[in-house]
């Protein structure tokens, strides 16, 4: 037992004539009552006062301050503010090898804003959504340290306390919460940061890329929808890894997502370390979201640079697999085929481990491709790319593909692999018919 706690317990026993076992039980119950955010010494002090005992060792006086009053070196601070931003919690390794947790908030009152750093058990309040963006909180027992950019930061650890939605004059005097939540149809490139709730309709696996400085990064894509429309979301670095636990149909909330122009100048969302992704928001937030409906596209509906798509078609032609070397020195494989439906044809490329699936296919097979993506190929025609997260179902039941209708193209657009074409032109040269022998010996 801590010496200070022992001294308080001893004082209560002497002045109030209470058994030690009873006191220790009351101290533990008081800590549990306050969700474990109270130190044993603090709990013992409260129990002592319940018995009319004033501990000889008093806690230092708490300083009730505004954000503009805070400066380096202050401790045991009491401050009230409204949460205007929550950054993603993360784990870290301590010097002794143990794991720790940390989360960052931005707190605001009428005098300014300050970053708040929560440590270890306090991080659970963020992870379990006990505290949310826009909610007022009261911090007790916080202290000030210098942040990475030299500015003061409020820190609160196991000795501190957080009160959610406090009452009193200071809470009433806070600026009103600004609602940055927008519907997808309202997303505009003029918006700097946005909060959006949507249902995931498609998701890609993270892929690695190399930055201009030679460092490595990760990116993954989602497509989300609400009752007003749909949009693409790019998740960067640590955020990208979350797609491994996200599936089509899941509801998510994005906080502090930046807005940029994407494909065909349409606005799309980007989420990095300054933003936050919350899976399965509270029911009230998602009650208006449309239910997830899986849509199989027709080939004519596919555009270049679609992050996620599902399509079905018949294999018209296969090309041999080829090997290549990547910039990092590793080798890869790719195999192409031509897929067709009644609306047209498209090239499909299978990469690395997925090449084995393409090798086992035959002309005439019907395939259902899920979680593929598209890119711009020759003459900017869309092509489908099959990666590790894609799924290929061969000759599935209840899917029939009609014979492809001829598609009109200009002669300048002709390339190997195109099928079911309709070309109109003027004959400028012809040759006589001649006999030849096919591979099977027929004429």
- Whichever domain contains 395, its CATH number is 2.40.50.140
Same domain, 150 and 206: no
Domain co-membership, 247 together with 329: no
Number of domains in the chain: 4
Q: Same domain, yes or no, for 411 and 304? A: yes
Within-domain flag for 211 = yes
Asked whether residue 58 is domain-assigned, the answer is no
- Residue 408: the pLDDT is 67
Q: Do residues 55 and 68 touch, judged by C-beta distance below 8 A? A: no
For residue 434, is it within any domain? no
Residue 167 within a domain? yes
Q: Which pLDDT score is estimated for 416? A: 65
Residue 95 within any structural domain of the chain: yes
| Domain identity same for 212 and 269 | yes
Domain, as residue range, for 247 = 184-286
Phi, psi of 412 (to 5 degrees): -70, -15
Q: 271 and 192 in one domain?
A: yes
Per-residue pLDDT, 333: 93
Q: Give yes or no: residues 389 and 281 share one domain.
A: no
Last residue of a domain, one of 237, 257, 286: 286
Q: Same domain for 128 and 198?
A: no
pLDDT number for residue 400: 86
Same-domain pairing of 348 and 272? no
| 293 found inside a domain | no
Residue 91, pLDDT score: 86
443 located within any domain: no
Residues 303 and 397 in one domain: yes
Q: Are residues 206 and 242 in the same domain?
A: yes
Tell whether 304 and 395 lie within a shared domain.
yes
- Give 126's contacts (C-beta < 8 A, 6+ positions apart): 86, 89, 103, 105, 118
**Of 110, 141, 172, which closes a domain?**
172
pLDDT of residue 309: 87
Is 11 in the same domain as 92? no
Tens place of pLDDT per residue across the chain (443 aa): 677 788 888 888 888 888 899 999 998 888 887 655 567 887 888 888 788 887 765 445 556 788 988 888 888 889 999 998 888 888 888 888 888 889 899 999 999 999 999 988 888 888 787 888 889 999 998 999 988 778 889 999 877 899 999 988 888 999 988 777 899 999 988 888 889 999 998 888 788 888 888 899 999 888 899 999 989 899 999 999 999 899 889 999 999 899 998 766 788 999 998 889 999 888 888 999 998 877 889 998 888 878 788 999 999 999 999 999 887 888 999 999 999 999 889 999 999 999 999 999 999 999 999 989 898 887 788 999 998 878 999 999 888 888 766 666 677 777 665 655 667 788 888 888 888 776 666 66
SS (H, E, C) 180-235: CECCHHHCCCCCCEEEEEEEEEEECCCEEEECCCCCEEEEEEEEEEECCEEEEEEE
Residue 259, domain member (yes or no): yes
């Amino acid at each position: 037992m801590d010496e200070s706690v022992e001294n308080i317990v001893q004082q209560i026993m002497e002045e109030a004539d209470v058994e030690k076992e009873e006191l220790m039980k009351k101290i533990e119950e008081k800590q549990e009552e306050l969700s474990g955010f109270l130190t044993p010494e603090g709990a013992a002090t409260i129990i002592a006062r319940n018995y009319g005992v004033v501990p000889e060792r008093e806690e230092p006086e708490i300083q009730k301050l505004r954000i503009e009053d805070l400066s380096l070196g202050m401790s045991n601070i009491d401050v009230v503010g409204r949460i205007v931003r929550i950054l993603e919690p993360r784990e870290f390794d301590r010097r002794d090898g143990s794991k720790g947790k940390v989360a960052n908030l931005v707190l605001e009152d009428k005098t300014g804003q300050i970053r708040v750093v929560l440590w270890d058990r306090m991080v659970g309040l963020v992870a379990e959504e006990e505290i949310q963006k826009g909610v007022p909180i009261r911090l007790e027992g916080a202290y000030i340290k210098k942040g990475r950019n030299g500015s003061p930061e409020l820190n609160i650890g196991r000795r501190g306390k957080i009160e959610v939605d406090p009452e009193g004059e200071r809470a009433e005097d806070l600026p009103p919460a600004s609602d940055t939540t927008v519907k997808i149809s309202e997303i505009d490139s003029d918006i700097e940061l946005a909060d959006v709730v949507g249902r995931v309709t498609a998701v890609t696996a993270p892929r690695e890329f190399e930055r201009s400085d030679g460092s490595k990064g990760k990116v993954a894509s989602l497509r989300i929808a609400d009752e007003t429309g749909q949009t693409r979301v790019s998740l960067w670095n640590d955020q990208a890894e979350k797609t491994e636990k996200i599936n089509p149909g899941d509801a998510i909330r994005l906080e502090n997502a930046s807005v940029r122009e994407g494909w065909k100048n349409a606005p799309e969302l980007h989420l990095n370390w300054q933003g936050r992704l919350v899976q399965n928001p509270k029911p009230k937030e998602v009650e208006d979201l449309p239910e997830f409906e899986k849509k199989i596209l027709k080939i004519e509906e596919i555009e270049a640079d679609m992050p996620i798509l599902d399509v079905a078609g018949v294999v018209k032609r296969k090309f041999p697999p080829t090997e290549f070397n990547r910039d990092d020195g590793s080798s890869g494989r790719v195999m192409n085929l031509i897929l067709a439906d009644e609306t047209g044809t498209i090239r499909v490329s299978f990469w690395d481990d997925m090449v084995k699936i393409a090798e086992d296919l035959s002309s005439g097979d019907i395939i259902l491709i899920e979680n593929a993506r598209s890119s711009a190929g020759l003459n900017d025609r869309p092509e489908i790319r099959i990666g590790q997260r894609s799924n290929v179902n061969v000759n599935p039941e209840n899917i029939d593909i009609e014979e492809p209708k001829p598609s009109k193209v200009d002669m300048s657009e002709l390339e190997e692999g195109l099928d079911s074409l309709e070309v109109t032109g003027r004959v400028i040269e012809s040759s006589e018919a001649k006999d030849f022998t096919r591979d099977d010996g027929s004429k």
